[in-house]
Structure 1
Amino acid sequence: MNTVALVGIDLGKHSFHLHGQDGAGRAVFRKKLSRPQMMRLFGNLPVCTVVMEACAGAHFTARELNKLGHVAKLISPQFVRPFVKSNKNDFVDAEAICEAACRPAMRFVAPKTEAQQTLSVLHRLRDALVRERTQATNQAHGFLLEFGISLPRGLATMKRLPSTLSEHTLPPPLLPLLMRLHQHFLYLDQQIKELERQLETQVATDDVGSQLLSMPGVGPITASLLAVDLGDARQYASNRDFSASLGLVPRQHSTGGRTTLLGISKRDDKHLRRLLVQCARVYLMRLEHQRGALATWVRSLLMRRHANVVACPLANKPARIAWAIAVKHTRFEAAPDGLTA
């Protein structure tokens, strides 16, 4: 075991498959272990590099291995797949992780802290509640439409549903069902508001999150999710690398010296990408109040393209600015006209 230099782990819920290699890339051991057995093994191993796919439980495992003195690295699963040999199994996957980690140009994922993961859970819980609230609203509209009642769109209509029901004649057994749906809607709406207040509190106490709020069009929800995705931003070489990781740059299919750019790649977190596009639309709505080089650039684009087309490249700007804010620990200041934003 003293010759172990690199260990690849194929993560699972209850069992973990390990493939160990020495400095020359020769296989040293293969083991199938439970979580407690695996942690005992790494507690007895000399310091080495441990590599896993960035999936469920990977960030926690990476933090625990770092505490033991090892160097834990995470790889995106899409970069491991080309190294998987035929007749795929868990040990072959662990070996493929080692092969991928040996590539000098391989890109790794920075392990998230407990605070970042907690904030990410808060966002996902809020998204689930928003979807459920929308589902309850659509159900109420559909049920009433069956009885010839067409309600206007919007959450305000759902909040005053009892007064709307009193204005129409409906079957008596239907009223308690609709009122139960209305109570469920109010409960979901209250839970969402509480989570949003919690988000605002966490952003206000976070250094990077509070600095990201200085960007135009960016609110607490977007700022907190950007702070989770960025971390200290040191894992990205430049702001363009960060925006590319969010899928906000064009896909490229070039050959023979001819450059062909397609639509945006849409990789990584679609929720954060959607929020950034919404920030861009808010910026466009208030463009007459904006000043600086960014506003001048947007106005020049709007002279040639539709606002819906401009929203996508404009969404790329907050991502790149956010990287600069996180790296330099500064706040956003609109550059004067004629300078690069």
Structure 2
Amino acid sequence: MKITTVGIDLAKNVFAVHGVNEHGRAVLRKVLKRNQITPFFTNLPVCVVGMEACASAHHWARKLQAMGHTVRLIAPQFVKPYVKTNKNDAADAEAICEAVTRPNMRFVPIKSIEQQSVLSLHRARQTFVRARTAQANQIRGLLGEFGIVVPQGIANLVRGVPALLEDACNELVGSFRLLIQRLMDHLKELDRQVRELETQIQSWHRNDEASCRLASVPGIGPLTASALVATIGDAKSFANGRQLAAWIGLVPRQHSSGGKNVLLGISKRGDTYLRTLLIHGARAVMHAAERAQHRNAWLHGLLQRRNTNVVTVAVANKNARIVWALLTRGREFQTDYIAIKAAAQP
């Protein structure tokens, strides 16, 4: 019988494959090595192939799509309920094959090589930023052991530590001064790496039309815009802006039962990096609104009723919905768009 659906449990070297026919009966159970994947699916009739959205999933999805197969990526948490018994590669492949056939299943958009490349820049920059913060904290902590307190902020370290090392009145010995100088050199190198990666990201941003459109939204800069475009991919895979905000994790969690609706804090689902960028951008919008001569009526009214952190998340949520609208409709951001639409209504 013809194989209609195949589930693949991805790995580094050993791949479990499970296939079913049009009646849902298992007709294929196979274990393949990495070098056997391409020949096997080249000779396999065109079918639906399901995989978990994990390491190397987008690479294999692009390769299988080029062979004519319909590839669908599923988030791992949506596959887990379909694992019937103990976890192993064969059971995972069967669960993926079952999950991909569900009519209400949510799928992950397949990323292009360009999208993965710019996201790699973001991930590398994020790693350098964390290392830079850790290095700054270590320097500040070591100096604190000798009674020297340096204010928070990398700029304060760069300005203040050289003077401390040159000061002969403090009790720092020569070996410790050399150690701090070595750590400061490492800190400066990490900062240089961060700035170089930011330059590459901004260069990509300037050459991408969609990213430039998103950067016109208050609270979204080149870093956030490029990360959004590369991560979201096809925004039309979301039915509306609320779905995108929920996917990023900017909507309340629910714990409702018996007709009683209970809304908790934000769900924090989806991409932590995107959510962090949007919330930091929302904080910048709020600080700018405090200095602006003409207040934003919606933001000012919300601040009168809610906590500052709640308002920050609300601004980030609103920006996520605006991003969806701009990407799906191909429009430019207009500050007075909502006001014009409201005025047009009878």
TM-score (norm 2): 0.94
* Letter aligned with residue 79 of structure 1: F
Q: Deviations over 1:252-306 (max 9, x none)?
A: 22222222211111101112111111111111111153879xx321111111123
**Corresponding residue pairs, total:** 337
Please show how residues 1-341 of structure 1 align to structure 2 within 5 Å: 3-160=2-159, 161-167=161-167, 168-288=170-290, 289=292, 295-335=296-336, 337=339
**Displacement, 1:101?**
1.1
* Letter aligned with residue 165 of structure 2: L
SS at match of 1:18: strand
Tell me the distance in 2 between the aligned counterparts of 1:279 and 1:330: 21
* Letter aligned with residue 143 of structure 1: L
Q: Deviations over 1:78-122 (max 9, x none)?
A: 111111011221111111111111111111111111111111111
Q: Deviations over 1:161-214 (max 9, x none)?
A: 222211234201112111111110111111100111111111111121111011
Tell me the distance in 2 between the aligned counterparts of 1:334 and 1:241: 23
Tell me the distance in 1 between the aligned counterparts of 2:307 and 2:70: 49
Contact 1:239 1:321 in 2 (8 A): yes
* Letter aligned with residue 195 of structure 2: K
SS at match of 1:108: coil
Contact 1:230 1:323 in 2 (8 A): no
Structure 1 window deviating more from structure 2 (301-310 vs 72-81): it is: 301-310
SS at match of 2:250: coil
SS at match of 1:123: helix
* Letter aligned with residue 320 of structure 2: A
Tell me the distance in 2 between the aligned counterparts of 1:230 and 1:321: 13
CA RMSD of aligned residues (A): 1.6
Contact 1:230 1:326 in 2 (8 A): no
Aligned identity (percent) is 48
Tell me the distance in 1 between the aligned counterparts of 2:258 and 2:143: 60
Contact 1:216 1:283 in 2 (8 A): yes
Tell me the distance in 2 between the aligned counterparts of 1:12 and 1:274: 30
